């Protein structure tokens, strides 16, 4: 197969030497050259295709050389031979582009076939996180109380002494205000008030009553801080408090709400509650709430007969009717508005429900513990499916 154009002097065009042609030689050589290149292009791979392009259309290419001869032709010859030479150039250019597209498309299809993913194979395992039991219990509480008409309220974790103590009817001499029980900041705020890490989420109740008109039904979950640390206490822990403010609220409403909550949370209908008289400065009257339990396989299980041989009572939360002084501090008339409040540790609820023994493990960050007690991110609590699903 010829590799170049035969010139009038009898030299091969690969030498890049072009001499004046007679018209008949140009016509024959252009057509032959075009057919030769088209035949080569049809069987070339990508590498050979680039070599053909350079040989035909490069600066020293055969067809480029023919185009250069147009300048030495007479106007009549140029008018006749120009279209033929340009036609050859366009034909070769188009053939190279088409062949290149076909080769690249074939290479892509071959690669796709070789790299195909078998969707019938199982997915390779990858590391997965889990939902912490505290976060899971918070979601469960929100789901249960939302069904009872409660909203979720939040507030700052750094509070002033007025919101954390004074508004809640805690005098300056109250033990909870002592330095060994509370984390205080060295600086005071712009109003000269002492600042501290909140010891409970009760300040959220104060802020809600001051910023929202009754009736009010909220729960306030969140982090709280106290200077305490042992197997059942940590300096930082999680608490949820509930508040209802309305007309005609009584202890009967409180007891029904707590029974409904505890039975839904532990998913048992045989749970019995016992309210014992107690004292909290922000509620009057106040009551400690005990839940009945039985011992099954050496562990306490909430529910069953607390008066039986394997039964008993354990405290789970504090509650009471909101003290009229607290209602007054929030700008409401205690003769018109009454309410009840309750609070319990979220960490303790998680320990009781899911059989955990040491509260300190909640904050160790041990992956083995988290894998054992953690929940899937898809295990969203629902009352219909079971809040602890």
Supply the pLDDT for residue 384. 54
Residues forming beta bridges with residue 342, ordered by sequence position: 242, 319
The DSSP code sequence of 71-130 is GGS-HHHHHHHHHHHHHHHHHHHHHHHHHHHHHHHHHHHHHHHHT---TTSPPPP-----
Whether 240 is covered by a domain: the verdict is yes
Residue 94 and residue 100: Cα distance in Å, rounded? 10
Supply the pLDDT for residue 179. 60
Supply the pLDDT for residue 375. 85
- Tally of CA atoms within 13 A in the half-sphere of 269 that contains its CB: 0
Phi first, then psi: what are they for 60, rounded to 5°?
Answer: -110, 20
Q: What percent of the chain is modeled with pLDDT above 70?
A: 88
Q: Which of 49, 77, 109 is the last residue of a domain?
A: 109
138 plus 286 within the same structural domain: yes
Supply the pLDDT for residue 67. 81
C-beta of residue 265 within 8 angstroms of C-beta of residue 141:
yes
Supply the pLDDT for residue 193. 87
| Residues in the chain, pLDDT under 50 | 1-25, 389
As for how many domains the chain has, the answer is 2
C-beta of residue 340 within 8 angstroms of C-beta of residue 248:
no
Whether 280 is covered by a domain: the verdict is yes
The count of residues in the chain is 389
C-beta of residue 150 within 8 angstroms of C-beta of residue 242:
yes
Whether 383 is covered by a domain: the verdict is no
Per-residue tokens: 314 = 């354990």
Residue 40 and residue 62: Cα distance in Å, rounded? 14
Residue 300 and residue 91: Cα distance in Å, rounded? 90
101 plus 158 within the same structural domain: no
Whether 384 is covered by a domain: the verdict is no
215 plus 256 within the same structural domain: yes
Whether 3 is covered by a domain: the verdict is no
Whether 372 is covered by a domain: the verdict is no
Whether 387 is covered by a domain: the verdict is no
Supply the pLDDT for residue 13. 40
173 plus 256 within the same structural domain: yes
Residue 314 and residue 295: Cα distance in Å, rounded? 12
97 plus 141 within the same structural domain: no
C-beta of residue 205 within 8 angstroms of C-beta of residue 241:
yes
90 plus 224 within the same structural domain: no
Whether 381 is covered by a domain: the verdict is no
258 plus 324 within the same structural domain: yes
105 plus 139 within the same structural domain: no
C-beta of residue 6 within 8 angstroms of C-beta of residue 13:
yes
CATH label of the domain that carries residue 333 = 3.30.930.10
The domain in which residue 309 lies consists of: 133-365
28 plus 175 within the same structural domain: no
Residue 238 and residue 225: Cα distance in Å, rounded? 9
Q: At what angle do helices 23-42 and 62-69 cross, to 10 degrees?
A: 160
95 plus 201 within the same structural domain: no
Q: Is 115 annotated as a binding residue?
A: no
Per-residue tokens: 25 = 């030689």
79 plus 194 within the same structural domain: no
197 plus 301 within the same structural domain: yes
């Amino acid at each position: 197969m010829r590799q170049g154009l035969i010139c009038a002097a009898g030299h091969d065009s690969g030498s890049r030497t072009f001499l004046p042609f007679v018209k008949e030689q140009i016509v024959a050589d252009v057509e032959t050259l075009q057919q030769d290149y088209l035949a080569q292009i049809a069987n070339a791979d990508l590498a050979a295709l680039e070599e053909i392009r350079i040989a035909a259309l490069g600066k020293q290419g055969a067809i480029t050389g023919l185009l250069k001869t147009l300048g030495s032709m007479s106007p009549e010859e140029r008018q006749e031979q120009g279209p033929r030479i340009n036609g050859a150039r366009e034909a070769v250019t188009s053939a190279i582009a088409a062949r290149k597209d076909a080769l690249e498309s074939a290479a892509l299809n071959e690669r796709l076939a070789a790299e195909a993913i078998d969707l019938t194979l199982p997915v390779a395992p990858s590391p997965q996180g889990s939902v912490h039991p505290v976060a899971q219990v918070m979601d469960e509480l929100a789901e249960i109380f939302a069904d009872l008409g409660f909203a979720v309220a939040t507030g700052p974790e750094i509070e002033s002494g007025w919101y954390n103590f004074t508004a809640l009817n805690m005098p300056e001499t109250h033990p909870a205000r002592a330095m060994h029980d509370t984390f205080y900041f060295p600086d005071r705020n712009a109003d000269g008030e002492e600042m501290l890490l909140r010891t409970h989420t009760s300040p959220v109740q104060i802020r809600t009553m001051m910023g929202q008109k009754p009736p009010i039904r909220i729960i306030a979950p969140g982090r709280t801080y106290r200077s305490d640390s042992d197997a059942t206490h940590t300096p930082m822990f999680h608490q949820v408090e509930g508040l209802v403010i309305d007309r005609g609220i009584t202890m009967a409403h409180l007891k029904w709400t707590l029974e409904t909550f505890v039975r839904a949370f532990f998913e048992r209908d045989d749970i019995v509650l016992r309210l014992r008289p107690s004292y909290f400065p922000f509620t009057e009257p106040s009551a400690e709430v005990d839940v009945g339990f039985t011992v099954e396989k050496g562990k306490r299980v909430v529910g069953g007969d607390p008066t039986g041989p394997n039964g008993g009572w354990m405290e789970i939360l504090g509650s009471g009717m909101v003290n009229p002084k607290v209602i007054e501090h929030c700008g409401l008339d205690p003769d018109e508005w009454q309410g009840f409040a309750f609070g319990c540790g979220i960490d303790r609820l998680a320990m009781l429900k899911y059989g955990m023994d040491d509260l300190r493990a909640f904050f160790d960050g041990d992956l083995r513990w988290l894998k054992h007690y953690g929940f899937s991110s898809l295990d969203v609590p629902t009352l219909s499916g079971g809040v602890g699903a």
